[in-house]
Amino acid sequence: MMERRRFLSLAAATGAAGAVGMTAAGCDSGPGSDEVTLKLVAADYGDSGENSSEKYWKDLAASFTEKHPGVRVDVAVHSWSEVDRKVAEMVKAGEAPDLAQIGAYADYAAEGKLYKANELLSIPVQADFLTGLAEAGEVRRVQYGLPFVSSTRLLFYNKDLFAKAGLDPDDPPQSWKALKAAARKLKDAGVKYPYGLPLGREEAPAETLIWMLGGGGGYTDTVGNYTINSAANIDTFAWIRDNLVKPGLTGGKPGRIDRQTLFDAFSEGDVGMLNGHPTLMQQADRGKISYGTGRIPGKGGPSEATLGVADWMMAFKQNGHRLECRKFLDYVYREKNHYAFADRYDLMPVTTSATERMRGDRRHKELWRFLDQLPDAEFYPAGKVSWAGTSADIKKNIGKAVEPGGDPAAVLGAIQRSAESEERSE
Indicate if the pLDDT at residue 170 is higher than 70: yes
Indicate if the pLDDT at residue 120 is higher than 60: yes
| Averaged pLDDT for residues 120-148 | 92
| Averaged pLDDT for residues 357-365 | 91
Is 358 within 8 Å of 135 (Cβ atoms)? Answer: no
HSE-CB of 137 using CA atoms within 13 angstroms: 29
pTM above 0.85, yes or no: no
Region of poorest pLDDT, from 67-71, 136-140, 284-288, 390-394: 136-140
Residue 406 CA to residue 397 CA, distance in Å, equals 11
Q: Report the phi/psi class of residue 268: left, alpha or beta, with left for phi > 0 and alpha for psi in -120 to 50.
A: alpha
pLDDT at res. 375: 66
DSSP character at residue 6: B
pLDDT at res. 50: 81
How many residues in total does the chain contain?
A: 426
pLDDT at res. 282: 87
As a 3-state breakdown, the chain gives helix, strand, coil percent values, each rounded to 5, of: 45, 20, 35
pLDDT at res. 135: 86
Indicate if the pLDDT at residue 10 is higher than 60: no
Residue 226 CA to residue 221 CA, distance in Å, equals 7
Q: Which residues contact 379 (CB under 8 A, 6 or more apart)?
A: 2, 5, 7, 136, 307, 308, 309, 310
Instruction: Tell me the three state secondary structure of residue 241.
Output: helix
Strand-strand pairing, 291-294 and 71-78: unpaired
pLDDT at res. 289: 98
Q: Is the dihedral of CA 386, 382, 41, 396 positive or negative?
A: positive
pLDDT at res. 33: 54
Indicate if the pLDDT at residue 15 is higher than 60: no
Q: What is the overall mean pLDDT for the chain? A: 90
Indicate if the pLDDT at residue 184 is higher than 80: yes
Q: Set out the domains of the chain in order of their start, with CATH numbers.
A: 24-151+309-378 (3.40.190.10), 154-307 (3.40.190.10)
Is 401 within 8 Å of 229 (Cβ atoms)? Answer: no
pLDDT at res. 426: 63
* Stronger pLDDT, 56 or 5, i.e. the higher one: 56
pLDDT at res. 425: 75
Indicate if the pLDDT at residue 16 is higher than 70: no
Q: Residue 32: which pLDDT band, with cuts at 50, 70 and 90? A: very low
Q: Is the dihedral of CA 254, 400, 234, 7 positive or negative?
A: negative
Q: Which residues contact 225 (CB under 8 A, 6 or more apart)?
A: none
Q: Residue 103: which pLDDT band, with cuts at 50, 70 and 90? A: confident
Indicate if the pLDDT at residue 2 is higher than 70: no
Indicate if the pLDDT at residue 8 is higher than 80: no
